[in-house]
């Protein structure tokens, strides 16, 4: 049975600029941390896999001392507290509806479900946040048919392939039967290293990244009569016209693998 695995942030919804960034900044303010990331600064932080890891990146020795974090235990405890609060803020933003679902996700997920495909999300974000975005994007009924692999279920975050290797094992899926939808170079590297054919739907933060090794790169999955998918790279020549459909994904699965897919881009 084929499987369709989505990343969460930037793939299911435009969560980074309108969700994670304000949630991080609100959390820093709540805890008296003298950091407020601009959009430009956050564009660099999104290259770090995992929210706790992004938070930890601000803790220079000087700032840790200013905050009274004297040792590793204190730092770890603080980061965990910050991240719990950040997840609360983020979930509230998701539930407020300010982050629109990305075009085509709900459509193609429904097509895949109706055709008997396995559905999953594999993300480095906290599981409660991922589930909130998933339900917001595809609706509660369809979300119930997804397996969710998220957060700290694996020790190494993307671009390490761990989350995808874990998902394959849990789903009982073979790499040739799986399509991944990602939005970043880190996510693409994770999926390709796990041997998975990957469609990239670029986001505002990732459009200029290197997507060598992707099976297809588009602006979005597209929706009929609404936003159309702009094709940015089409190495297999599947030529989606305005929308990426389940037929497009089936075609990508049956085409012979290219040698560059086995390389880390």
The yes-or-no answer on residue 141 being catalytic is no
Is 7 one of the catalytic residues? yes
The secondary structure of the chain as a DSSP string is: --EEEE-SBTTTB-HIIIIIHHHHHHHHHHTT------HHHHHHHTTSSSHHHHHHTT--HHHHHHTT--SHHHHHHHHHHHHHHHHHHHHHHHHHT-SPBPTTHHHHHHHHHHTT-EEEEEESS-HHHHHHHHHHHH-HHHHTTEEEEEGGGSSS-TTSSHHHHHHHHHHT--GGGEEEEE-SHHHHHHHHHTT-EEEEE--TTTTTS--TT-SEEES----TTSPPBPEEE-TT-----BS--HHHHHHHHHSPPPGGGGS--
Of these residues, 9, 14, 162, 223, which one is catalytic?
Answer: 9
The one catalytic residue in 7, 14, 183, 223 is: 7
The residues annotated with a catalytic role in the active site are: 7, 9
């Amino acid at each position: 049975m084929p499987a369709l695995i989505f990343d969460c942030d930037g793939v299911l919804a435009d969560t980074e600029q309108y969700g994670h960034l304000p949630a991080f900044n609100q959390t820093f303010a709540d805890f008296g941390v003298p950091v407020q990331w601009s959009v430009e600064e956050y564009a660099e932080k999104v290259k770090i896999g995992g929210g706790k890891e992004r938070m930890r990146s601000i803790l220079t020795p000087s700032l840790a001392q200013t905050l009274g974090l004297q040792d590793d235990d204190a730092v770890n405890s603080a980061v965990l507290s910050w991240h719990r609060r950040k997840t609360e803020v983020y979930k509230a933003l998701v539930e407020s509806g300010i982050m629109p679902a990305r075009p085509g996700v709900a459509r193609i997920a429904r097509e895949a479900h109706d055709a008997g495909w396995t559905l999953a999300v594999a993300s480095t974000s906290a599981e409660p946040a991922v589930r909130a975005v998933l339900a917001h994007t595809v609706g509660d009924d369809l979300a119930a048919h997804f397996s969710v692999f998220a957060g700290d279920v694996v020790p190494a975050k993307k671009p390490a392939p761990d989350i995808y290797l874990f998902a394959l094992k849990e789903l009982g899926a073979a790499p040739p039967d799986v399509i991944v939808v990602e939005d970043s170079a880190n996510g693409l590297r994770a999926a390709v290293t796990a041997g998975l054919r990957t469609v990239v739907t670029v986001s505002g933060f990732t459009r200029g990244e290197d997507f060598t090794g992707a099976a297809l790169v588009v602006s979005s999955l597209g929706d009929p009569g609404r936003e159309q998918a702009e094709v940015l790279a089409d190495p297999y020549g599947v030529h989606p016209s305005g929308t990426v459909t389940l037929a497009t994904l089936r075609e990508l699965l049956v085409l012979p693998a290219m040698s560059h897919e086995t390389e880390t881009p």
